[in-house]
Amino acid sequence: MRDLLGTHMGHSGLLQMCEFMETADVSEEVAVIRGAVFFVGAVLWGNRMIRSLKYSPSTVLAAFEKALERKHPYVSYEVIVRVQDLVRNKGDTLLSVSWDLVLEIIRKVLEYTRPEESRSDGHVQKIIKCVNDTLDVIDEAIDAGGFSGSTPRFYAVVDAGCKFRPVRKYKF
């Protein structure tokens, strides 16, 4: 897949995967949607980045948000891992519109995750850990002045996920 996306057909392939994430109905194969999320995130800002592909994170994050509507833990996990990669690797360059989408995705992942599942389901525990790690990275960016999103919105997301977070001190 990386070889294909690195060619002149890369932009078309990326567009097709984003459209698939946005338009696939609930009956679509979850593994295919998860794979699309993986490849799009990996080639744009992950370890397998293809530098010739230049897309605004907000374009892709909108497709990720749409993919979350399946409310499937495997898709949620893949989306939050790719969002975490984005925040870690390109957080200092994100615009406020992208930060808004990042926070909305995290909020939706938390909304779709039930606290009672987090104690027994190993996959849900991985999702929660990834969400918490991502929120910690954003909190560090706020402290360092590298966050251009809405700080009140960030704290609203932290508040929405407080049942999953370890006790920490936040400056309000």
pLDDT tens column, 76-120:
999 999 999 999 999 999 999 999 999 999 999 999 887 665 556
- Tell me what pLDDT residue 56 has: 87
> How far, CA to CA in Å, does 76 sit from each of 12, 18, 81, 145, 159?
25, 16, 9, 29, 20
Best CA proximity match to 14, nearest among 56, 34, 43 = 43
> How far, CA to CA in Å, does 91 sit from each of 11, 114, 135, 141?
23, 28, 12, 8
- Tell me what pLDDT residue 104 has: 97
Helix (H, G, I), strand (E, B) or coil at 172: coil
Considering the domain delimited by 2-164, tell me its CATH architecture: Alpha Horseshoe (1.25)
> Any idea what DSSP says for residue 8?
T
- Tell me what pLDDT residue 166 has: 75
Looking at 6-161, list the stretches that DSSP marks H as alpha helix, in order from N- to C-terminal side.
Answer: 10-23, 30-45, 57-67, 73-90, 96-112, 115-120, 122-144, 151-160
- Tell me what pLDDT residue 127 has: 93
- Contact status, residue 104 vs residue 63, Cβ threshold 8 Å: no
The pLDDT of residue 26 is above 70: no
Best CA proximity match to 65, nearest among 10, 119, 18, 117 = 18
The pLDDT of residue 21 is above 60: yes
> How far, CA to CA in Å, does 171 sit from each of 40, 74, 106, 142, 158?
35, 33, 20, 11, 12
Give me the residue label for tokens 């402290």: 143
CA end-to-end distance (rounded Å), the chain? 45
- Contact status, residue 75 vs residue 37, Cβ threshold 8 Å: yes
- Contact status, residue 23 vs residue 70, Cβ threshold 8 Å: no
Higher pLDDT, 7 or 113: 113
The pLDDT of residue 1 is above 70: no
Higher pLDDT, 24 or 118: 24
pLDDT tens column, 112-163:
887 665 556 678 889 999 999 999 999 999 999 999 999 999 999 999 888 8
